[in-house]
A and B are shown apart, each in its own frame.
Chain A
């Protein structure tokens, strides 16, 4: 399977715990994006990388959130001291620099904070 893969698919945690999600993009894609989707809403942009450089972060990405893409391949999104409001689907996507603007999304990592 050469699509975008995310791990874990589901995570249930208690409030205050830290969680980390991993995303493996399509191998030839140099751009990687994180989005968050809550019930009844569309995906909301969080951050994106071109190779290993984090080029933009949304104001939605509070200090408790950190994303990395250390070698320009896979990426991790860590949420520290989780809150119930962090419960959402975290979507990763990748793309090339040029093209139709198409993002290739993974299946997402669903976070439930109890």
Chain B
């Protein structure tokens, strides 16, 4: 079985403070992991991906994520939040032939 759990449905941070969006997964395979961002009324955009190379992955717009196999986690972080980061973020696991599972999303609010 394969699953993704985004531990927070909503996260609120002040502008300029760190962002942490949490994601745990389970998979019978060695998975590929992705984070996508969705701004209001837009499609999803790929932020970053882990594909069994370096465990610390850097993405666009200053985001990064660390793959921790022992904790089955792939948390998304950013040192300093910007107003333009306000969006919904999806953690995705891809393991096995055609098996892709989306998390239920975390809405990030950035307070000025």
Q: Decide whether A and B are members of one complex.
A: no
